[in-house]
Amino acid sequence: MDTIASLFSFITTPVSWVIVQFHSVYGKIFGPDTGWAWGLSIVSLVILIRICLIPLFVKQIKATRAMQTLQPEMKKIQERYKNDKQRQSEEMMKLYKESGTNPLSSCLPILAQSPFFFALYHVLNGIATGSTIGVINESLLASARKAHIFGAPLAAKFTDGSSKVEALGASLTDVRVVTAIMIVLMSASQFYTQRQLMTKNVDTTVKTPFMQQQKMLMYVFPVMFAVFGINFPVGVLVYWLTTNVWTMGQQMYVIRNNPTPGSKAQAAYLERLTKHVTHHGKTRRRSEKTIVKAIVAKGRDRNEFERTFINALTKAGLTAQADGAVVKGEAQAVAQTEDGVTATGAARRQQPKRQSKAQRQSGAVKAAGDTASASSDSPASSGPSASEGKTTSLEKSDEPQDAKPAAQQAPKGGSNGRSRAQSGQRKGGPQRPKSPSKK
């Protein structure tokens, strides 16, 4: 471990300088020689490093999402080469190369903070051996050697002998109890972080080598921390326990608010989103609109949880839009343009109203009357005979009429004023033209 730490000695001075700056602040509050001042300085160093690694963490999330989009293709490769594991692995690697994804992207934050971890180990090892390192001079070295966290010195290890521990002003029992508890907490936090990733945020419908690798790391990492933790100084255990807790909280936030499609976390998230949207009648946050927009864009490729979400919105009278917004169904129906295109851009066919039999008959009678009126007003009937026919009809309107229906009453006169009743059509209802007789 000392040899590995010496490889990162180039970053020892910056790490020691940051610790000293935080120590000068906390020393004024808790005292310069207390374990609180030095312990919180290490915790602050972790927080500062993890904040600087947030862009890398975002990149990791994007790479993970890219891996998830490849899962349908991975499933096809698995089915095609299910009897040839070597060819299956080759095709998987070819797919990773063509899409530009990296299955080891989840390890990027760990690899990025490794230099800081070994640099801190190098600093604390110098404190344990009583040698100045970086910007830590003799006065700061003496202060750090006096600092204890729950009775355990910062530079003490689980494997240290009683003589070395007594030289740091502590008892061997206190050192081993404190270090054992911190090692257990460190391993448990790492295991829980990896377990919630595998059980809640993974699409279990597709099994890939990436999933098998993550499952293996879920058990390997805690064992590694337990084995190597007994050789870590208390200050390094504080560092690693803090970064594990940070990772666990960060992972919980991502799983809750940006789950993997097809995972149990997505089912829980869409259930919460359904209750929220149906209560308020719209999506209120940008993250919600992003999720809804992605679901709408999938169309028929939606998974079971996404289809359930869309169906729940439909039952509540809501409609998801292509831009991620959610509107009421009635408002969408009203928001039609003149050419029949709704707010979602889908054209709807206008269906005619269904009429009753009586309405159809009355309409036919009215159309027949309009036809007769139009024919009487035509230029062919504008001659003298038509005029005489009209006059005769008006003069005889006061005389008693036949028992024929009104539809069969016609003005007398020229051939153009001849009514349709004279053609031998049936009484009542819509009139049909008489078929010509066959000679």
Please give the Cα distance from 144 to 244 (Å, whole number): 24
Element containing residue 152 per DSSP (H, E): strand 152-153
Question: Which of the residue ranges 22-26, 263-267, 339-343 has the most confident prediction, judged by mean pLDDT?
Answer: 22-26
Contact by Cβ (8 Å): 305, 267: yes
For residues 143 and 128, is the Cβ–Cβ distance under 8 A? no
* Tokens of residue 211, six digits: 């999933």
Q: How large is the average pLDDT for residues 375-385?
A: 45
Average pLDDT over residues 265-288: 87
pTM score > 0.85 for this model?
A: no
For 202-229, the DSSP string reads S-TTS--HHHHHHHHHHHHHHHHHHHHH
Q: Which residue has the higher pLDDT, 433 or 265?
A: 265
The dihedrals phi and psi of 133, each to the nearest 5 degrees, come to -150, 140
DSSP-assigned letters across all residues of 27-52 = HHHH-TTSHHHHHHHHHHHHHHHHHH
Instruction: Return the higher-pLDDT residue of 14 and 361.
Output: 14
In this structure, of 122-126, 133-137, 163-167, 335-339, the range with the lowest mean pLDDT score is: 335-339
CA-CA distances (angstroms) from residue 399 to 111, 377, 393, 402, 404? 112, 25, 10, 10, 14
Q: Worst-scoring range by mean pLDDT, 92-106, 241-255, 348-362, 401-415? A: 401-415
- Name which residue leads in pLDDT, 248 or 124: 248
| pLDDT of 74 higher than 90 | no
Categorize the per-residue pLDDT at 229 as very low, low, confident or very high, splitting at 50, 70 and 90.
confident
421 to each of 188, 394, 404, 418, how far by Cα in Å? 100, 18, 9, 8
Strand partners, 148: 153
Residue bearing tokens 């521990």: 165
Q: Give the burial class of 337: count Cβ atoms within 10 A of its Cβ; 0-12 exposed, 13-18 middle, 19 or more buried.
A: exposed
pLDDT value of residue 180: 93
State how far the alpha carbon of 434 is from the alpha carbons of 114, 410, 420, 423, 426, in Å. Answer: 100, 17, 10, 7, 9
Residue 301 CA neighbour count, 13 Å, CB half? 9
Q: Hey, what amino acid is at 259? A: P
Residue 437 confidence (pLDDT) above 80: no
Segment among 252-256, 293-297, 357-361, 379-383 with least mean pLDDT:
379-383
Whole-angstrom distance, CA of residue 393 vs CA of residue 376:
13
Parallel, antiparallel, or unpaired: how do β-strands 152-153 and 326-328 relate? Answer: unpaired
Residue 417 in this model has a pLDDT that exceeds 60:
no
Distance, in Å, from the CA atom of 413 to the CA atom of 407, rounded to the nearest integer, reads 17
Q: How far is CA 241 from CA 183, 194, 332, in A?
A: 8, 15, 53
pLDDT band at 47 (very low <50, low <70, confident <90, very high): very high
pLDDT at 423: 45
Is-contact 344 332, C-beta < 8 A? yes
**What is the rounded average pLDDT of the residues 214-231?**
80
The arithmetic mean of pLDDT across residues 273-299, rounded, is 86
* Rounded percentage of the chain residues whose pLDDT exceeds 70: 67
The average pLDDT across 256-271 equals 85
pLDDT digits (tens, 9 = 90+) for 134-161: 888 888 888 888 888 888 988 888 888 8
Write out pLDDT tens, residues 152-189: 988 888 888 888 888 888 888 999 999 999 999 988 99
Mean pLDDT of 71-87: 80
Q: Pick the residue with more confidence: 86 or 340?
A: 86
Using one digit for the tens of pLDDT, what is the confidence trace for 397-408?
Answer: 444 444 444 444
